[in-house]
Amino acid sequence: MQDFYLIGTLPLWLITLATIAIAALLLLQFLGLRQRLPLGQTIFLTLLRAVVYAGLIFFLFGPALIDRKTTKLRRPLTVLIDSSQSMGFPADPQAPVGEKTPPSRLDAVREKLTSGKEPLIEKLNREYDLRIARFGTSMEPIAPGSLAAIRAQDRGTRLIELLQAAARDGAAQSAILVFSDGIANGDRKSLDGMAPLSVPVFAVGVGQTQGFSDVRISKLGAPEFAFRGREFKIDLTVQASGMKGKTVPLFFNRGKNLITSRPIAIDSDQFEQKLTLAFMPKELGTHAFSVSIPAQPGEQIVPNNHKEFKVEVQRDKIRILTLSGSPAWNYRFLRMALKQDPLIELVSFVFLRTPTDTVDVPESQLSLIPFPIDDIFLEELKNFDVIFFDDFSHRAYFNPVYLDRVKDFVRDGGGLAMLGGTRAFDAGGYGDSALREVLPVELDGKGAFETRGAMQAALTPAGKAHPITRLLSDPKANEEAWRKLPPLTGINQIRGVRGETLLTAGGADGTSGAPLLAIGRFGKGRTLALMTDDAWRWNFIAVGNKETPQNHLKLMRQAVRWLAQEPSFEQVRLQPIPASQPGEKTVIKLRVLKDDFTPTREASIQLRVFGPEGEPIVIPIAADNEEGEYAGEFTPTREGTYRVEAEASLGGKVLGRDKTSFTAAYSYGEADDGLPRLDLLKQIAETSKGEYIPIDDWNDKALERIAARLESIAPSEIIEQRQIKLWSNVWPFAIMLGLLSVEWWMRRKWGLI
Amino acid sequence: MNRRKFIQLVSHGLLGAGLLPRIAQAAAADDKRRLQFVFAQIKYRGGDWNPHPLAVTPLMEELMARTSVEADDARHEVTLIDRDLFNYPFLYLTGRYEFEPFSQEEVENLRRFLSYGGFMLIDDALGQQGYGFDKAARREMQRVFPGNEFKRIPPGHASLRSYYLLRRIGGVRIISPTLDGISIGSSMPVIYCQNDLGGAWERDQTGKWTNACTPGGEAQRRDAFHLGINLILYAMTENYKEDLIHVPFIRRRLTQ
B112 chain-A contacts, CB cut-off 8 A: 543-544
- Helix, strand or coil for residue A404? helix
B113 chain-A contacts, CB cut-off 8 A: 543-544
The answer to whether the CB of A327 falls within 8 A of the CB of A303 is: no
Shortest Cα–Cα distance, A341 to chain B (Å): 14
Q: Provide the number of structural domains found in chain A.
A: 5
Task: Please check whether residues A48 and A80 belong to one and the same domain.
Answer: no
A348 chain-B contacts, CB cut-off 8 A: 237, 240, 243
B226 chain-A contacts, CB cut-off 8 A: 361
A489 chain-B contacts, CB cut-off 8 A: 27, 29
Task: Please check whether residues A261 and A190 belong to one and the same domain.
Answer: no
Contact (CB<8Å) B236/A327: yes
> Is A97 a residue whose pLDDT tops 70?
no
Contact (CB<8Å) A335/B240: yes
Domain contains A248: yes
> Is B5 a residue whose pLDDT tops 50?
no
Among residues A513, A546, A568, the one where a domain terminates is A568
Contact (CB<8Å) A367/B65: no
**Which of B35, B68, B225 has the highest number of chain A CBs within 10 A, making it the mutation to test binding with A?**
B68
Q: What is the Cα–Cα distance from A447 to A421, expressed in whole angstroms? A: 11
Q: Write out pLDDT tens, residues B130-186.
A: 999 999 999 999 999 999 999 999 998 999 999 999 999 999 999 999 999 999 988
Contact (CB<8Å) B117/A335: no
B250 chain-A contacts, CB cut-off 8 A: 367, 369
Domain contains A655: yes
More confident residue, B241 or A53: A53
- Which residues are A128's β-sheet partners? A75
Contact (CB<8Å) B164/A352: no
Task: Please check whether residues A278 and A387 belong to one and the same domain.
Answer: no
Name which of A326, A365, A369 is nearest B69 (Cβ-Cβ).
Answer: A326
- The mean pLDDT value of chain B amounts to 86
Contact (CB<8Å) B117/A333: yes
The answer to whether the CB of A333 falls within 8 A of the CB of B117 is: yes
**Is the reported ipTM for this assembly greater than 0.95?**
no
Shortest Cα–Cα distance, A364 to chain B (Å): 6
Domain contains A447: yes
Q: What is the Cα–Cα distance from A46 to A37, expressed in whole angstroms? A: 12
pLDDT at A355: 84
Task: Please check whether residues A118 and A264 belong to one and the same domain.
Answer: no
More confident residue, A246 or A76: A246
**Structural domain span for residue A228:** 214-314
pLDDT at A405: 96
A421 chain-B contacts, CB cut-off 8 A: 34
Shortest Cα–Cα distance, A562 to chain B (Å): 25
Contact (CB<8Å) B243/A347: yes
C-alpha gyration radius of chain B: 18
Summarize the confidence of residues B242-255 as an average pLDDT: 74
pTM above threshold 0.80? no
Q: What is the Cα–Cα distance from B239 to B231, expressed in whole angstroms? A: 11
Name which of B32, B113, B233 is nearest A327 (Cβ-Cβ).
Answer: B233
pLDDT at B28: 36
CB atoms closer than 10 angstroms to residue A708: 10
Among residues A568, A603, A626, the one where a domain terminates is A568
Contact (CB<8Å) A329/B237: no
| Distances in whole angstroms, Cα of residue B168 to Cα of each of A493, B150, B219, B221, B225 | 45, 19, 10, 11, 12
Contact (CB<8Å) A353/B66: yes
> Is B25 a residue whose pLDDT tops 50?
no
More confident residue, B59 or A98: B59
Name which of B34, B69, B112 is nearest A421 (Cβ-Cβ).
Answer: B34
Q: Write out pLDDT tens, residues A52-66.
A: 999 889 888 888 888
pLDDT at A668: 66
Among residues A275, A296, A314, the one where a domain terminates is A314
Task: Please check whether residues A155 and A224 belong to one and the same domain.
Answer: no
Q: Write out pLDDT tens, residues A484-521.
A: 999 999 999 999 999 889 999 987 776 788 999 999 98
**Residue A374 burial (CB < 10 Å; 0-12/13-18/19+)?**
exposed
Q: Write out pLDDT tens, residues A654-696.
A: 777 888 888 787 766 776 778 888 999 999 999 988 899 998 8
A547 chain-B contacts, CB cut-off 8 A: none
Compare all CA atoms of chain B with the CA of A542 and give the residue at the minimum distance.
B86
- The mean pLDDT value of chain A amounts to 87
Work out the pLDDT band at B23, boundaries 50, 70, 90.
very low
**Which of A349, A352, A354, A393 has the highest number of chain B CBs within 10 A, making it the mutation to test binding with B?**
A352
Q: What is the Cα–Cα distance from A541 to A488, expressed in whole angstroms? A: 10
pLDDT at B12: 36
Task: Please check whether residues A473 and A605 belong to one and the same domain.
Answer: no
**Worst-scoring range by mean pLDDT, A75-84, A298-307, A447-456, A538-547?**
A298-307
pLDDT at B21: 33
Q: What is the Cα–Cα distance from A720 to A445, expressed in whole angstroms? A: 114
Cis peptide bond N-terminal to A103, omega within 30: no
Task: Please check whether residues A476 and A353 belong to one and the same domain.
Answer: yes
A-B contacts at Cβ under 8 angstroms: 128
Q: Write out pLDDT tens, residues A689-744.
A: 889 999 888 887 888 888 887 777 766 677 777 888 887 888 888 998 999 999 89
The b-or-e profile of A290-322 (16+ CB within 10 A means b, else e) is bbbbeebeebbbeebbebebebebebebbbbbb
A422 chain-B contacts, CB cut-off 8 A: 34, 70
Shortest Cα–Cα distance, B8 to chain A (Å): 33
Task: Please check whether residues A485 and A346 belong to one and the same domain.
Answer: yes
Task: Please check whether residues A119 and A172 belong to one and the same domain.
Answer: yes
At A492, which CATH number?
3.40.50.880
- Helix, strand or coil for residue B122? strand
Contact (CB<8Å) A327/B118: no
User: Which domains are seen in chain B, by residue range?
Assistant: 3-255 (3.40.50.12140)
| Distances in whole angstroms, Cα of residue B111 to Cα of each of A275, A297, A329, B105 | 57, 78, 19, 10
Q: What is the Cα–Cα distance from A327 to B89, expressed in whole angstroms? A: 13
pLDDT at B11: 35
Q: Write out pLDDT tens, residues A155-207.
A: 889 999 999 888 888 766 678 999 999 998 887 888 888 888 888 899 999 98
Q: Write out pLDDT tens, residues A333-347.
A: 999 999 888 888 899
pLDDT at A606: 94
> Is B13 a residue whose pLDDT tops 60?
no
Contact (CB<8Å) A449/B34: yes
> Is A545 a residue whose pLDDT tops 80?
yes
In percent, the amount of chain A with pLDDT more than 70 equals 95
Q: What is the Cα–Cα distance from A2 to A66, expressed in whole angstroms? A: 5
- Which residues are A175's β-sheet partners? A77
Work out the pLDDT band at A1, boundaries 50, 70, 90.
low
Contact (CB<8Å) B86/A540: yes
Domain contains A671: no
Summarize the confidence of residues A284-307 as an average pLDDT: 84
Domain contains A538: yes
Task: Please check whether residues A224 and A284 belong to one and the same domain.
Answer: yes
**Of A108, A310, A75, whose CA–CA distance to A205 is shortest?**
A108
The b-or-e profile of A545-575 (16+ CB within 10 A means b, else e) is eebbbbbbbbbbbbbbbbbbbbeeeebbbbb
> Is B9 a residue whose pLDDT tops 80?
no
Name which of B27, B85, B237 is nearest A332 (Cβ-Cβ).
Answer: B237
Domain contains A669: no
Contact (CB<8Å) B237/A325: no
pLDDT at A181: 92
At A616, which CATH number?
2.60.40.10
In sign, the C-alpha dihedral spanning B239, B242, B245, B248 is: positive
Summarize the confidence of residues A2-20 as an average pLDDT: 86
Domain contains A730: yes
Q: What is the DSSP letter of A166?
A: H
CB atoms closer than 10 angstroms to residue B156: 13
> Is B8 a residue whose pLDDT tops 60?
no
Report residue A174 CA to chain centroid gap.
35
pLDDT at A596: 60
Work out the pLDDT band at B226, boundaries 50, 70, 90.
very high
Domain contains A670: no
The sheet with strand A344-350 has its strands ordered as A344-350, A318-324, A386-390, A415-419, A525-530, A514-522, A500-505, A457-459
pLDDT at A572: 86
The answer to whether the CB of A318 falls within 8 A of the CB of A385 is: yes
Task: Please check whether residues A502 and A636 belong to one and the same domain.
Answer: no
Q: Write out pLDDT tens, residues A119-149.
A: 888 888 888 888 899 999 889 999 888 888 8
Task: Please check whether residues A431 and A495 belong to one and the same domain.
Answer: yes
B67 chain-A contacts, CB cut-off 8 A: 326-327, 352-353, 357
Work out the pLDDT band at A211, boundaries 50, 70, 90.
confident
> Is B229 a residue whose pLDDT tops 60?
yes
Summarize the confidence of residues A226-239 as an average pLDDT: 88
**Of A244, A254, A247, whose CA–CA distance to A290 is shortest?**
A254
**Residue A435 burial (CB < 10 Å; 0-12/13-18/19+)?**
buried
